[in-house]
Structure 1
Amino acid sequence: MLDLRLTRAARPAVQLRRLLVAAASAGTGFLLLSCLGYALHHPGAAGAGALRLAWCAVPVTATVYLALAVARTDPGTRPRPGLSALGLGPARLTAISCLATALATTLGSLLALLLFLRLRGELPGMRSAGARAAFLAVGEPLPLPATLTLLAVVPAVATAAVAVALRPRDPRPVRRPQRRYLPFGRSGAPVRADGTVPAPGHPEGAPAAPGGTADPEPAPAATLAERAVLPGLPWAVALLAAGLTAHAYAGRTPPAHAPTFATLPGEAGTILLGWALTAVGLVLAAPGLTHLCGRLLQCARPGALRLLAGRILMTEAARIGRPLGVVCAVFAAGYAMTTLYDAPARAFGPLSALGALVVAGCAVATLLTSAVQARQGRAETTDALLRLGAPTTVLRGAAALRAFALLVLFTPLTLAVAALAALPLTR
């Protein structure tokens, strides 16, 4: 009962984010049901039905990504002192997050089922609103096991992802084992277990590095995090090159229309692989580019405004960079398909528009949710700056400067990736 109260009694902003998850789940569930309807209406076109179902992996992934971001920003499930005495330890709070995610996604799946049945005219007192649509399969009975299985995909995958990502971890730091010393050797100096002798003048209980110098101090956690962000750039460049190569391979025989559900299986598979590699490359590159953007803001004698904006970008590069890379990948794909492809207007039907809306909406909502999470993470720093007398205009100006710098950096990158990916298919 306490779990349900914590899930229900949340702030309006939290409930709004949960409703966004439900809306995304409804759109994805409707796309999955449309694949079932198409298969029922065209029993001999197994390849086309499987291709439609494969394309649905993109909105499913986007919906799960949004659900995970919303679960991470839920303040009601954040560990706080005193909750363990009430039986709300880390494991219980993770269960509450999974419960909230399961409720939101299940609500969306039920809404998708009601809309699908409404369009088919199977609800009492309603007529079919789309009898000409092939994906509705009007007149064909819906198999109950297949329908329930498709509707359970998003709730099951999203709940499992939240459970894995928010699982309780051991808060104690990992300590490296201390080197033990054997009794005194022949020369009277202490001998280590590995057979080495510490340097003269070095304390007996402290380890010494080869050559008689002490071991260097461990790097701070912030420095390690910044270093971990930058090594992803070489892998990102390699994946981007592989994705553009896949697009070039698919462009050897230019298609007559943009890649939709009706695209040939081999051609669509190559294009989907190319966009998958390109998207992963952008996601891996975005944190490093965000870190470099923050470093560039602090060049050439920065003032307080640029220094604050740059340090925040460098600190939050991993948290903001990945959702920003997803947004760049989504808009690059959309720009390539709608602007650079020589495609007729009829190539984009209602299902393609719904899929694009779900994916783009989830990407933007995830980015905004990650920004909220980053703001919550630096709440103590912001309060400290305000107590020291920092004006609110400086904080707002730093936020606007960060947004402008990211826009200047990632907009040309997105357009360049879209142009390079679509260039082999437009010749």
Structure 2
Amino acid sequence: MLSLRVLRGAGPAVLGRWALAAAASAGTGLLLLSTLGWALAHPGGDASHAAVRLVWCVVPVVVTVQLAAAVGRTQSAAWPREGLSSVGLGRTGLLALAAVTTAVVCLVGSAVALLVFLQLRGDVTGVEWNGVGPGLLASGKALPPAGVATLLAVVPAAAAGTMLAGLRSGHTRVRDAPGSLPWGVALVAVGLSVEVASPRGDGLPLPSGLGVIAPAAVGGWIVTTAGMVLAGPGLVHVIGRLLAAYRPGPVRLLAGRTLQHESPRLGRPLGLLCATAAAALSAYTLQSGDGHRLGPVSVFAFTLIAVCVLATAAVSLNETASSRTEARNALHEVAASPTTLRAALAVRATALLAVLVPLAFLVAALSTLP
């Protein structure tokens, strides 16, 4: 009940972020239910095909959970600690409240996914929607309650667990951001090497009939993505250090110092955004190479992933801007002009784009070699 009261008392911007997390949970729930529908519609088919469809749902689940956890962390950091402490909520209670609130939002999204799936099957109106291709809705077949409940509980449970893990590790950020850069670069190099050297032949079928990919290449892509996320804080810190090097002016100095200070918070979302952009470029290359068009489910999944990653980065940027209030006030006190602040922002954005965009193209080019 307290979680519902917290949600009801939130402002429009906070409710908008929670609504986005619920919508992402609903989209991921639809993808998970579609795998169940395909398995029910093909009872005599190869079980590995249903397993492969379920495996490809891992990516939407991960990015949805990350978005929900990012929204939950941002909201829990803004809670009135004194007021919650006065009603007996200590640190453990706040952790539980944040996790339960995130789970409730994701459960709402899962419930919406179930209602939409039943509507598409024709269980509500009696008319099946045929826009997703045959064999995905299993119309006329009874849905197993245990299977439906298990699939729809994946995102809420994972989001609550991620919230508990992230908040229990403390609200402090890793200050030695450059220390993660060598490890991230090493992981990216290892992942790309595995992808390039992966054996050709049979493997996991890609969505929408884009061919097959060796399991080793999938593992290499996972390692590459993890390396880009791990290297993100260090890379942003190095960019800031280079901006502030060699007799900088006020704009360059302000931009560089800001990037160095905010690298622990910005690095990982930007690293994941860069990895997602590389994956999108790789998918576009595969699609345009043989003229194959993506199916509606694949388009929906790719759109969901892109929206979740962009929204996670936007939440992190908004959190960073909110934490910059004291520094901005201090600059105003020393008569720093608004033009200087806007110029520093433009320099930061330009420097990040100048590094991350070529990096995404390079990783995409190497990833499509297999």
TM-score (norm 1): 0.80
- TM-superposition CA deviations, 1:164-221 (whole Å, max 9, x none): 222385x9xxxxxxxxxxxxxxxxxxxxxxxxxxxxxxxxxxxxxxxxxxxxxxxxx9
CA distance in 1, matches of 2:291, 2:109: 30
Equivalent residue number for residue 277 of structure 1: 223
Are 2:308 and 1:362 equivalent residues in the alignment? yes
- How far is 1:16 from its partner? 1.0
Equivalent residue number for residue 97 of structure 1: 98
Specify which structure has the higher proportion of helix.
2
CA distance in 1, matches of 2:286, 2:208: 19
CA distance in 2, matches of 1:358, 1:268: 25
Q: Which moved more, 1:277-286 or 1:1-10?
A: 1-10
Are 2:324 and 1:392 equivalent residues in the alignment? no
Equivalent residue number for residue 166 of structure 2: 165
Q: Which moved more, 1:314-323 or 1:379-388?
A: 379-388
Question: Kindly, what percent of the aligned residue pairs are identical?
Answer: 44
CA distance in 1, matches of 2:289, 2:140: 33
The higher radius of gyration belongs to 1
Are the counterparts in 1 of residues 38 and 137 from structure 2 also a CA contact under 8 Å?
A: yes
Equivalent residue number for residue 207 of structure 2: 260
Equivalent residue number for residue 151 of structure 1: 152
- How far is 1:89 from its partner? 3.1
- How far is 1:230 from its partner? 1.7
Equivalent residue number for residue 238 of structure 1: 186
Are the counterparts in 2 of residues 283 and 323 from structure 1 also a CA contact under 8 Å?
A: yes
**Counterpart amino acid of 1:279?**
T
CA distance in 2, matches of 1:2, 1:341: 48
**Counterpart amino acid of 1:417?**
V
- How far is 1:253 from its partner? 4.3
* Of 322, 325, 330, the match for 2:276: 330
- How far is 1:295 from its partner? 0.9
Equivalent residue number for residue 34 of structure 1: 34
Q: Which moved more, 1:155-164 or 1:406-415?
A: 155-164
Question: How is 1:117-136 mapped onto 2 (pairs within 5 angstroms)?
Answer: 117-123=118-124, 125-130=125-130, 132-136=133-137
**Counterpart amino acid of 2:95?**
T
Are the counterparts in 2 of residues 230 and 288 from structure 1 also a CA contact under 8 Å?
A: yes
CA distance in 2, matches of 1:249, 1:137: 40
Structure 2 unaligned spans of 5+: none
Equivalent residue number for residue 421 of structure 1: 367
- TM-superposition CA deviations, 1:349-389 (whole Å, max 9, x none): 11111111111111111111111111222222222222332
Are the counterparts in 2 of residues 130 and 136 from structure 1 also a CA contact under 8 Å?
A: no
Q: Match of 2:168, SS? A: coil
CA distance in 2, matches of 1:76, 1:9: 15
Are the counterparts in 2 of residues 119 and 136 from structure 1 also a CA contact under 8 Å?
A: yes
Q: Residues 25 and 390 of structure 1: is their aligned pair in 2 closer, same or farther, counting only changes over 3 Å?
A: same
Q: Residues 76 and 301 of structure 1: is their aligned pair in 2 closer, same or farther, counting only changes over 3 Å?
A: closer
Are 2:8 and 1:8 equivalent residues in the alignment? yes
Pairwise CA RMSD: 2.6
| Alignment size in residue pairs | 368
Are 2:108 and 1:107 equivalent residues in the alignment? yes
**Counterpart amino acid of 1:231?**
G
Are the counterparts in 1 of residues 278 and 361 from structure 2 also a CA contact under 8 Å?
A: yes
TM-score (norm 2): 0.91
**Counterpart amino acid of 1:135?**
L
Are 2:138 and 1:137 equivalent residues in the alignment? yes
CA distance in 2, matches of 1:168, 1:412: 34
Q: Residues 410 and 111 of structure 1: is their aligned pair in 2 closer, same or farther, counting only changes over 3 Å?
A: same
Equivalent residue number for residue 193 of structure 1: none
Structure 1 unaligned spans of 5+: 172-220
* Of 230, 238, 244, the match for 1:298: 244
- TM-superposition CA deviations, 1:389-410 (whole Å, max 9, x none): 2222222222222111101110
Q: Residues 247 and 102 of structure 1: is their aligned pair in 2 closer, same or farther, counting only changes over 3 Å?
A: same
Question: How is 1:53-64 mapped onto 2 (pairs within 5 angstroms)?
Answer: 53-64=54-65
Q: Match of 2:136, SS? A: helix
Equivalent residue number for residue 266 of structure 2: 320
Are the counterparts in 1 of residues 194 and 216 from structure 2 also a CA contact under 8 Å?
A: yes
Equivalent residue number for residue 180 of structure 1: none
